[in-house]
Amino acid sequence: MVPYSLFDYLSAETTTRDCGPLTKPDNGAVSTQGGTAETSVAQYTCNEGYELCSGCQPTRTCNSDGRWSHTKPSCTGIAPIIGKM
């Protein structure tokens, strides 16, 4: 006896994953295109006077396993240029 029907199998294959909400970094923002469902893309930006940390990815994608790619980036303060007005 088969524990699952063909309908169950096909439904499982077409289920869209949801990666859940993201939190904004301190001194920054996050926006998502397509919400939090599979293949959605989140874009991180930093407030004026801040930039994404070195090596941080500015975007994250909701993967088919229900997890966001990469790690949450952080925003670091930009050192002022002395003598420039």
**Predicted pLDDT at 12:** 52
Q: pLDDT of the chain along its 85 residues, tens only?
A: 455 555 554 555 567 899 999 999 999 999 998 899 999 999 999 999 999 999 999 999 999 999 999 999 999 999 877 765 5
**Domain residue ranges in the chain:** 18-77
Coil/strand/helix, residue 65: coil
Side-chain half-sphere CA neighbours of 65 within 13 A? 3
**Predicted pLDDT at 62:** 97
How far, in Å, CA of 36 to CA of 42, rounded?
8
**Predicted pLDDT at 83:** 66
Buried b (16+ CB within 10 A) or exposed e, 15-45: eebebeebeebeebebebeeebebebebebb
Would you state the structure tokens that stand for residue 75, as one six-digit string?
Answer: 């925003």
**CATH class of the domain at 18-77:** mainly beta
